[in-house]
């Protein structure tokens, strides 16, 4: 590794020493949201999605940083990064960020995050409290992040994703109406699809065998089943 690269990583560490999640519920939501957005934009090479990646918006100021639970940067190529150094990303700030609240997060901490995202150009900020069943959102209006008054049914201008709350549970829907799924739900759906395909194959095999037996009986009677 070049000395210059080493210096960059030393100045802008890839870890802040904090855990990615405080509990299993928070972790599951981070993975579901991050993976769902990645799947949505999987065919677009210029949408970068990350989870718990340190974002440094100002060169020369490594103390100014945040690691959103999930963030989306439109206009930036996919790929692996040690951190998001904005001056090396054509000065593009992540336009959409998500935070999943945990019991450890203080009010002051969350206010500081909102101030940071407002200062450094985030267009949409969503905060979900899975324990309290509350979703809050902000979007940029006239240069400032403003609270979204009605979040239920809200459609993200950038993502095209619709947000709904059902008995306190957050539901996210893709533009085609399909719902974001957890990893377990993806596996269960894949299993169900495989079983359906297996059943269809067995049905087709049984139908082919039945047709072959019938054709054999017709030939035994002197009838050519292939004649029209």
Range of the domain at 202: 181-228
List the pLDDT tens digit at each of the 228 positions of the chain.
Answer: 444 555 777 888 887 767 666 788 899 999 999 999 999 999 999 999 999 999 999 999 999 999 999 999 999 999 999 999 999 999 999 999 999 998 888 889 999 999 999 999 999 999 999 999 999 999 999 999 999 999 999 999 999 999 999 988 999 999 999 999 976 776 677 676 777 777 788 887 888 888 888 888 888 888 877 775
Dig out the tokens for 15 from the structure.
Answer: 């870890």
Maximal CA-CA distance, the chain: 91
State whether 187 and 204 are in the same domain: yes
pTM of the full structure = 0.80
DSSP E strands in the chain: the ranges are 47-50, 55-56, 70-74, 84-85, 96-100, 124-129, 134-141, 144-147, 162-166, 169-173
For residue 85, the cross-strand partners are 56
Q: Is 62 exposed, middle or buried (0-12, 13-18, 19+ CB in 10 A)?
A: middle
Domain count, the chain: 2
Q: Is 5 exposed, middle or buried (0-12, 13-18, 19+ CB in 10 A)?
A: exposed
CATH number of 64's domain: 3.90.1570.20
State whether 161 and 189 are in the same domain: no
State whether 107 and 164 are in the same domain: yes
């Amino acid at each position: 590794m070049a000395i210059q690269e080493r210096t960059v990583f030393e100045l802008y560490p890839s870890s802040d020493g904090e855990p990615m999640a405080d509990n299993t519920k928070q972790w599951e939501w981070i993975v579901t949201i991050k993976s769902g957005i990645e799947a949505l934009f999987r065919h677009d090479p210029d949408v970068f999605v990350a989870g718990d990646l340190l974002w440094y918006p100002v060169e020369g100021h490594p103390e100014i940083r945040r690691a959103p639970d999930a963030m989306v940067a439109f206009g930036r190529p996919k790929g692996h990064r040690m951190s998001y150094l904005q001056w090396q990303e054509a000065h593009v700030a992540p336009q959409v960020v998500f935070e999943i609240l945990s019991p450890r997060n203080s009010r002051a901490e969350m206010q500081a995050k909102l101030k940071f995202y407002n200062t450094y150009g985030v267009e949409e900020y969503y905060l979900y409290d899975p324990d309290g069943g509350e979703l809050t959102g902000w979007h940029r209006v006239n240069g400032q992040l403003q609270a979204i008054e009605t979040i239920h049914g809200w459609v993200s201008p950038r993502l095209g994703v619709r947000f709904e709350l059902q008995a306190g549970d957050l539901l996210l829907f893709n533009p085609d109406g399909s719902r974001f799924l957890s990893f377990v739900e993806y596996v269960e759906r894949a299993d169900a699809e495989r079983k359906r395909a297996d059943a269809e194959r067995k049905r087709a095999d049984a139908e082919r065998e039945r047709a072959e037996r019938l054709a054999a009986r017709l030939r035994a009677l002197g009838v050519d089943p292939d004649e029209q």
